């Protein structure tokens, strides 16, 4: 057989070599439906072909890990028979094309990943990156994305408790929408996707199938060009009401023992869900496509297999339990249809109108999926800037006000007030500062959750930036008193076929791996989004980390607000005044950005463990991590949160602007009523602490600056975003 002679014109994104492998697997030319199935299964989005080699280097184990990467979401043990199940996932491309529906379906999809495993979702977070505020599309995109996230999460009744937002021209043509969901399950009621067992009914539940999002998975694996707006028809539309019913119906059925396996129909819909279940269960699956509930007429087999219609699940039940399942789904007004059975063929066989329309051996479809060790070049190191390389401001106080009013540092209240962040009655730490804190219903436990990444650091030095993303998320979770347990990651990069982009991915993954190991926070789930480019311009490398930690007794939580007058203020960690890649350098000084702050993981660990122990020992009254904008911004945020000022009378030995705005890592600001004991504890733990002032009054006074009233800090902090969104 001459393979090349019969090569179809449209390989659906597959390479010539990949097509040759398909010919070998099939022993014949695949038909259109079969080729479509290979195309989506081997797309970057489903196969992780460019990143898999490096993802395997990440630490994924630990005594707390029940399930690492490879299932719908990661699972960790939080004690007393309970598990936290979580994952972060991108919906970047759909959100740029149709921001409301793109973001909404992103939220819907990640929640399904979590409740598929038996968990009730208890918190949503979102890591968002938009283009420059001056870009004509930015306002429209923010409006749509925020409304879409709210529209979905508010309706289904899961609180949206936190996240992050950055602006950078690098995202002008390709925004990032990364959605994270955390759920709670009993450790003895966790559901997986392996369809083990023969002659079992394969059951379709949820919404009917339409032509939504066909080739969405391949779209997520291609670069954008200016014609992308024409791709609008393939964007899926979310139905949060149906998802709410699906959630309740699934949890009700999961309370019985009727389910063998369950898998969400996400990217590549029925194709990836059925292949995954068959592959993990080492079985074959035969599906009769005529039995798939359909919303549109004359749908072709490839359309049914590739549709990304939302709010659908595929289940394998124990034999004879179909009626019990049907009764539950009918109560919730949802479709349930038996569409196939498992067998020992290890083949995916599709029939329609009594004929076989596709017949593919499953093991090679999965095992022969391409994996590339793409060539990469390391990002060249940048020079370390001295204090003198970044000029001091004319007025330190004015600089602080300008910075906290800026797009990257200002209050996100305008956004999170559009999210129901209180529904379910367990939101103990509301959005706004450090990690969100959500009580585990009916217990004293709480989960602390934070998403973080500093893309400008990653761009300057992918390895240090990758470490920093983990360290900052870990620090935020620590700041509320919780012990970080594990992370999920969302790797957003440009085109991996370009060696310099691949080098960013490699560096960031290596940095993350090192940090996860040092901070005992393994990666239990994640998602990779590549080809984030428009007209050849890549986004800033953005490897987002979502960290989950446990606080055994929620009443011991720590807040970031300044409290009692007279409390002593300390900085935990060393301040060298590192201005390279800082917000101050970028927004206030200009010139070369220089190298980002290095992350010393031993110090990070030591300082964090000390802070957590001090919180547990009731030594401190407020705690806030120091990140973007440095000490001065951290102090301003604590003053605004507590509506009380502070007098910072410390005389730094370095230039005061470097001291105030430098972004040295591994630092926290804490307050204490008993400075002597606190200093003794720090000395015993061998942790550097510096007493810098005291809480009190109605103004924040920084060294060498006029007092700034808390009221004017608050005004500056809250002004920009609502004004920007109201203007046109």
Partner 1 sequence: MTAAVIVFPGSNCDRDVAVSLEAALGHAPIMAWHGDSTLPDVDLIVVPGGFSYGDYLRSGAMAANSPIMREVIARANGGTPVLGICNGFQVLTECGLLPGVLMRNASLKFVCRDVDLRVERADTVFTSQYTKDQVIRIPVAHHDGNYFTDPETHKALEDNGQVAFRYCAADGSITDDANPNGSLANIAGILNTAGNVLGMMPHPERLADPLLGGLDGAPMFSALAEAIAA
- Please pick, from the candidates 428, 469, 473, 589, the single residue that binds partner 1 as defined by CB under 8 A: 428
Stretch that binds partner 1, among 42-50, 123-131, 311-319, 417-425 (CB under 8 A): 417-425
Contact call for residue 439 and partner 1 (CB under 8 A) = yes
Closest CA to 504 of 513, 491, 517: 491
- Alpha-carbon distance values, 186 to 88, 190, 254 (Å): 21, 7, 11
Distance, CA of 377 to CA of 500 (rounded, Å):
5
423 binding partner 1? (CB under 8 A): yes
Size of the site for partner 1 (CB under 8 A): 32
Sorted by sequence, the CB contacts under 8 Å of residue 582 that are 6+ apart come out as 390, 597, 629, 630, 661, 662, 663
Tell me how far apart the alpha carbons of residues 101 and 92 are, in angstroms, rounded to a whole number: 11
Q: Name which of residues 122 to 151 contact partner 1 (CB under 8 A).
A: 147, 150-151
Minimum Å distance from CB 251 to partner 1? 12
Three-state secondary structure call for residue 77: strand
CB of 249 to partner 1, least distance (A): 10
User: What part of residues 276-295 is at the interface with partner 1 (CB under 8 A)?
Assistant: none
For partner 1, which stretch binds (CB under 8 A), given 171-179, 311-319, 413-421, 524-532?
413-421
Q: Under the criterion CB under 8 A, does residue 434 sit at the interface with partner 1?
A: no
Q: Answer whether 506's CB lies under 8 Å from 57's CB.
A: no
Strand partners, 446: 439, 551
To the nearest whole angstrom, how small is the minimum distance from the Cβ of residue 292 to partner 1?
A: 24
Tell me: does residue 419 bind partner 1 (CB under 8 A): yes
- The nearer residue to partner 1, 2 or 727, going by C-beta atoms, is 727
Q: Which residues contact 11 (CB under 8 A, 6 or more apart)?
A: 18, 19, 35, 39
519-552 in b/e form (b: 16+ CB < 10 A) is bbbbbbbbbbbbbbbbeeebbbbbbbbbbbbbbb
Q: Which residues partner with 166 through β-bridges?
A: 129
Residues forming the active site = 45, 91
- Does residue number 100 form part of the binding site for partner 1 (CB under 8 A)? no
Q: Which CB sits closer to partner 1, 323 or 330?
A: 330
Which CB atom, from 147 or from 673, has the smaller least distance to partner 1? 147
Q: Please tell me whether residue 239 binds partner 1 under the rule CB under 8 A.
A: yes
CB of 50 to partner 1, least distance (A): 39
Give the nearest distance from C-beta 427 to partner 1 in angstroms.
Answer: 7
* Least separation in angstroms between CB 485 and partner 1: 21
Shortest approach of partner 1 to residue 432 CB, angstroms? 11
**Of the ranges 36-44, 423-431, 659-667, 698-706, which one interacts with partner 1 (CB under 8 A)?**
423-431
- Residues 25, 185, 245, 632: which binds partner 1 (CB under 8 A)? 245
Indicate the residue among 150 and 652 with the shorter CB distance to partner 1. Answer: 150
Task: List strand residue ranges (DSSP E) for 245-398, in order.
Answer: 259-264, 284-288, 312-317, 335-343, 347-352, 355-361
Tell the smallest beta-carbon distance from residue 564 to partner 1 (Å). Answer: 19
CA of residue 47 relative to chain centroid, distance: 19
- CA 269, CA 475: separation in Å to the nearest integer? 37
What is the DSSP-derived secondary structure letter of residue 520? T
Instruction: In angstroms, give the least distance from the CB of 641 to partner 1.
Output: 13
- Binding span for partner 1 by CB under 8 A among 214-222, 425-433, 464-472, 569-577: 425-433
Give CA angle at 336 (334, 337), nearest 5°. 150
Phi, psi torsion values for 569, nearest 5 degrees: -105, 130
- Residue 155-184 contact track with partner 1, rule CB under 8 A, x = bound: xxx---------------------------
* Position 244 contacts partner 1 (CB under 8 A): yes
Shortest Cβ 115–partner 1 spacing (Å): 14
* Structure-token pair, residue 720: 């920009």
Find the binder of partner 1 among 187, 228, 345, 418 (CB under 8 A): 418
The total number of residues shown for the chain amounts to: 728
Four-residue CA torsion sign, 456, 452, 607, 637 = positive
Residue in 225, 324, 333, 711 binding partner 1, rule: CB under 8 A: 333
Near partner 1 by CB under 8 A, which window of 167-175, 264-272, 362-370, 419-427? 419-427
Round to whole Å and give the CA distance between 424 and 393: 46
Is 430 a residue that touches partner 1 (CB under 8 A)?
A: yes
Alpha helices per DSSP H over 559-647: 583-584, 601-616, 630-642
- Closest by CA to 508, choosing from 474, 473, 554, 459, is 459
* Neighbouring residues of 212: CB distance < 8 A, sequence distance ≥ 6: 234, 235, 236, 237, 307, 308, 309, 310
329 binds partner 1 (CB under 8 A): no
Q: How many Cβ atoms sit within 10 Å of the Cβ of residue 643? A: 12
Nearer to partner 1, 253 or 708 (CB): 253
Among positions 691-720, residues that touch partner 1 (CB under 8 A) are none
At 589, give phi and psi (nearest 5°). -120, -40
For the bound state, the minimum distance from the C-beta of residue 206 to partner 1, rounded and expressed in Å, comes to 14
Q: Measured from the CB atom, is 431 or 511 closer to partner 1?
A: 431
CA angle 629, 463, 610 (to 5 degrees): 60
Instruction: Confirm or reject binding of residue 417 to partner 1 (CB under 8 A).
Output: yes
Q: Is 154 in the site for partner 1 (CB under 8 A)?
A: yes
d(CA 421, CA 153): 9
Residue 555 makes contact with partner 1 by CB under 8 A: yes
**How far apart are alpha carbons 577 and 667 in whole angstroms?**
12
Strand positions, DSSP E, 493-609: 523-529, 533-534, 537-538, 542-551, 568-572
- Part in contact with partner 1 (CB under 8 A); list of ranges 123-131, 373-381, 414-422, 654-662: 414-422
The residue among 354 and 425 lying less far from partner 1, judged by its C-beta, is: 425
Stretch that binds partner 1, among 29-37, 210-218, 238-246, 486-494 (CB under 8 A): 238-246
* Residues 506-545: x where in contact with partner 1 by CB under 8 A, - otherwise, as a string: ----------------------------------------
Of 544 and 551, CB closest to partner 1: 551
User: Could you give the CA distance from residue 704 to residue 651 in angstroms, rounded to a whole number?
Assistant: 9
Q: How far apart are CA 701 and CA 611, in angstroms?
A: 25
Q: Is residue 424 within the footprint of partner 1 (CB under 8 A)?
A: yes
By CB atoms closer than 10 A (0-12, 13-18, 19+), residue 227 is: exposed
Q: With contacts defined by CB under 8 A, name the span among 86-94, 236-244, 504-512, 666-674 that binds partner 1.
A: 236-244
CB of 309 to partner 1, least distance (A): 17
Enter the DSSP assignment of 51.
T
Chain contacts with partner 1 (rule: CB under 8 A): 147, 150-151, 154-157, 239-242, 244-245, 332-333, 416-428, 430, 439, 554-555
């Amino acid at each position: 057989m001459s393979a090349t002679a019969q090569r179809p014109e449209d390989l659906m994104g597959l390479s010539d070599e990949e097509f040759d492998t398909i010919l070998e697997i099939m022993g014949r030319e695949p038909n259109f439906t079969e080729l479509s199935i290979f195309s989506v299964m081997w797309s970057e989005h489903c196969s992780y072909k460019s990143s898999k080699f490096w993802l395997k280097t990440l630490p994924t184990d630990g005594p707390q890990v029940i399930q690492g990467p490879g299932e719908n979401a990661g699972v960790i043990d939080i004690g007393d028979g309970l598990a936290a199940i979580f994952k972060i996932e991108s919906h970047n491309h759909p959100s740029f094309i149709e921001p409301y529906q793109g973001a909404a379906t992103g939220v819907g999809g990640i929640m399904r990943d979590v409740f598929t495993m038996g968990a009730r979702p208890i918190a949503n977070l979102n890591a968002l990156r938009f283009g420059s505020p001056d870009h004509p599309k930015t306002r429209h995109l923010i409006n749509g994305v925020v409304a879409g996230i709210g529209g979905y999460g508010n309706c289904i009744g899961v609180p949206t408790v936190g996240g992050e937002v950055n602006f950078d021209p690098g995202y002008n043509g390709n925004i990032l929408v990364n959605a994270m969901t955390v759920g709670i399950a009993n450790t003895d009621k966790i559901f997986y996707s392996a369809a083990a067992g023969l002659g079992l009914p394969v059951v379709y539940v949820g919404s009917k199938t339409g032509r939504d999002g066909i080739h969405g998975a391949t779209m997520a694996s291609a670069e954008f060009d200016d014609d992308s707006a024409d791709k609008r028809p393939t964007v899926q539309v979310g139905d949060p009401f149906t998802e709410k019913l699906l959630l309740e119906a699934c949890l009700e059925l999961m309370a019985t023992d009727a389910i063998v396996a369950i898998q969400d129909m996400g990217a590549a819909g029925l194709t990836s869900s059925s292949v995954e279940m068959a592959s993990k269960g080492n079985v074959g699956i035969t599906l009769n496509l005529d039995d798939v509930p359909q919303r549109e007429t004359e749908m072709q087999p490839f359309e049914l297999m590739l549709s990304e219609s939302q709010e659908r699940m595929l289940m394998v039940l124990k034999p004879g339990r179909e009626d019990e399942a049907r009764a539950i789904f009918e109560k919730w007004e949802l479709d349930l249809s038996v569409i196939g059975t498992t067998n020992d063929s290890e083949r995916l066989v599709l029939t329609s109108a009594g004929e076989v329309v596709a017949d593919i051996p499953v093991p090679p479809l999965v095992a022969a999926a391409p994996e590339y060790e793409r060539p990469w070049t390391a990002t060249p190191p940048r020079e370390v800037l001295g204090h003198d390389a970044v000029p001091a401001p004319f007025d330190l106080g004015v600089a602080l006000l300008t910075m906290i009013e800026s797009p990257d540092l200002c209050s996100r209240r305008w956004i999170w007030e559009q999210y129901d962040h209180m529904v379910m009655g367990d939101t103990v730490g509301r959005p706004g500062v450090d990690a969100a804190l959500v009580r585990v219903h009916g217990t004293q436990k709480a989960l602390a959750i934070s998403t973080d990444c500093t893309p400008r650091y990653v761009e300057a030095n992918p390895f240090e930036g990758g470490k920093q993303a983990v360290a900052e998320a870990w620090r935020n979770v620590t700041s509320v008193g919780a012990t970080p347990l594990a992370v999920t990651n969302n790797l957003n990069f440009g085109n991996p076929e370009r060696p310099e982009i691949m080098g960013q991915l490699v560096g960031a993954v290596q940095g993350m791996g090192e940090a996860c190991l040092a901070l005992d926070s393994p990666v239990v789930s994640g998602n990779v989004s590549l080809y984030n480019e428009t007209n050849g311009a890549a986004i800033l490398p953005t490897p987002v980390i979502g960290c989950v930690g446990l606080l055994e007794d929620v009443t011991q939580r720590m807040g970031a607000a300044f409290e009692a007058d007279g409390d002593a203020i300390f900085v935990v960690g060393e301040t060298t005044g590192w201005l390279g890649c800082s917000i101050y350098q970028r927004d206030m000084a200009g010139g070369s950005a220089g190298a980002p702050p290095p992350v010393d993981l031993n110090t990070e660990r030591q300082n964090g463990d000390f802070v957590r122990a001090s919180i547990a020992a009731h030594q401190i009254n407020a705690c806030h991590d120091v990140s973007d904008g440095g000490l001065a911004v951290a102090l301003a945020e604590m003053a605004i949160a507590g509506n009380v000022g502070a007098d910072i009378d410390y005389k730094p030995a370095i230039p005061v602007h470097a001291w105030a705005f430098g972004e040295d890592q591994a630092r926290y600001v804490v307050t204490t009523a008993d400075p002597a004991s606190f200093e003794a504890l720090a000395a015993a733990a061998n942790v550097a602490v510096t007493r810098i002032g005291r809480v009190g009054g109605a103004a924040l006074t920084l060294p060498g600056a006029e007092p700034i009233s808390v009221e004017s800090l608050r005004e500056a902090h809250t002004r920009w975003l609502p004004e920007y969104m109201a203007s046109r």
